[in-house]
Amino acid sequence: MDGAQPGRAGLIRRGIAAATLCLLAGLAGGVAWGANTVERAKLQFSRDELLASTRPMSQVYLKELHGEPVEARPRAGLELRLQRIFAQMLGEAKRLRPSAAQWDWRLTLVHGEEVSPFAMPDGQVFVSTKWVGRRRLGDAEIALVLAHEMAHVIGEHMLERVSALAAARPARNMRVSDVLRMVEEEWHVARELETLMQAQELEADRMGLRIVCSAGIARSQALTLFDKMARADRGQEPGFINSHPELLARKQSLLGSMEARSLGCED
Ligand SMILES: [Zn+2]
Q: How far is the CA of 148 from the centre of ligand 1 (A)?
A: 6
Q: How far is the CA of 25 from the centre of ligand 1 (A)?
A: 8
More confident residue, 233 or 128: 128
pLDDT value for 29? 30
Q: What is the pLDDT of residues 137-175, one digit of tens each?
A: 999 999 999 999 999 999 999 999 999 999 999 999 999
Q: How far is the CA of 1 from the centre of ligand 1 (A)?
A: 4
φ and ψ of 212, to 5 deg? -60, -45
Q: How far is the CA of 41 from the centre of ligand 1 (A)?
A: 18
The answer to whether residues 144 and 86 touch, using CB atoms and an 8 Å cutoff, is no
pLDDT value for 151? 97
Q: Which residues contact 188 (CB under 8 A, 6 or more apart)?
A: 240
118 forms beta bridges with 126
Q: How far is the CA of 4 from the centre of ligand 1 (A)?
A: 11
Q: How far is the CA of 170 from the centre of ligand 1 (A)?
A: 28
Q: How far is the CA of 261 from the centre of ligand 1 (A)?
A: 22
Q: How far is the CA of 168 from the centre of ligand 1 (A)?
A: 23
Q: How far is the CA of 130 from the centre of ligand 1 (A)?
A: 18
Band the pLDDT of 1: cuts 50, 70, 90. low
Q: How far is CA 138 from the centre of its chain?
A: 19
Q: How far is the CA of 132 from the centre of ligand 1 (A)?
A: 15
Q: How far is the CA of 186 from the centre of ligand 1 (A)?
A: 22
DSSP state of 41: P
Q: Which residues contact 155 (CB under 8 A, 6 or more apart)?
A: 26, 27, 28, 31, 200, 203, 204, 207
pLDDT value for 12? 40
**Distance separating alpha carbons of residues 143 and 84, to the nearest angstrom:** 10
Q: What is the pLDDT of residues 131-145, one digit of tens each?
A: 999 999 999 999 999
The two beta strands, 118-119 and 124-128, are antiparallel
Q: How far is the CA of 149 from the centre of ligand 1 (A)?
A: 6
Three-class SS state of 110: strand
DSSP state of 134: H
Q: How far is the CA of 210 from the centre of ligand 1 (A)?
A: 15
The answer to whether residues 134 and 153 touch, using CB atoms and an 8 Å cutoff, is no
**Distance separating alpha carbons of residues 150 and 144, to the nearest angstrom:** 10
Q: How far is the CA of 2 from the centre of ligand 1 (A)?
A: 7
Q: How far is the CA of 171 from the centre of ligand 1 (A)?
A: 31
pLDDT value for 126? 97
**Distance separating alpha carbons of residues 126 and 71, to the nearest angstrom:** 13
Q: How far is the CA of 216 from the centre of ligand 1 (A)?
A: 22
Nearest Cα to Cα of residue 160 among 179, 182, 188 = 179
pLDDT value for 15? 40
Q: How far is the CA of 197 from the centre of ligand 1 (A)?
A: 8
Q: How far is the CA of 152 from the centre of ligand 1 (A)?
A: 7
Start-to-end Cα distance in the chain: 24
Q: What is the pLDDT of residues 27-60, one digit of tens each?
A: 223 333 443 445 576 899 999 999 999 999 999 9
Q: What is the pLDDT of residues 103-115, one digit of tens each?
A: 999 999 999 889 9
Q: How far is the CA of 172 from the centre of ligand 1 (A)?
A: 29
